[in-house]
Amino acid sequence: MLLLVSICGYILVVIKEKLYLRKNIILLDKKSVTQKHINEADIKEFLLDGNRLKTGDEVKVILKNKNTISGVIIGAIKKENQLLIVTHNDEVRKFSIGIIKQIKVVSRYGKFF
C-alpha cells in the first residue's frame, strides 16, 4: 500500500512540474536563491559534456580535486564560464567549467525517468 501511495505521489509531482514548464515556471524550494541569482544566470539551458542541462535539474558535480557536490542547477553565467548551483544545504555556489571533471544528472525537472 505504501509503495502505491509513493508511486502516485511521484506521478502527481511530475505532472505538476510539467504544468509549470508549460507556463515557463520552474519552482525551486530553496530560500537562499534570490532574484539576483536568477538574473545573474543568463543561460537557462545548455550542453555540458554531452549532457543537455536545464534550470531545475538535480545534478551531482565531481570536481577535478575529487570533491563531489550535489544540488539543483540555477543556470550558467556565459561571460565568466561558470555554473550556478544551489546545494541541498541552501548554499548558492559557482563553479568554473574548467574545474568540473564530470557531471551526473540525478533527475530532470518535469521528466518521469
pLDDT at 22: 85
Cα 32 to Cα 106: distance, rounded to the nearest angstrom: 21
**pTM higher than 0.85, yes or no?**
no
The C-alpha cell 538535480 sits at 58
pLDDT at 113: 61
37: confidence class by pLDDT, cuts 50, 70, 90: confident
Cα 106 to Cα 71: distance, rounded to the nearest angstrom: 9
Higher pLDDT, 50 or 64: 64
Nearest to 47 by CA among 2, 103, 94: 103
For residue 36, pLDDT over 90 is answered with no
What is the dihedral sign for C-alpha 29, 84, 58, 20?
A: positive
Cβ atoms of 111 and 14 within 8 Å: the answer is: yes
pLDDT at 72: 92
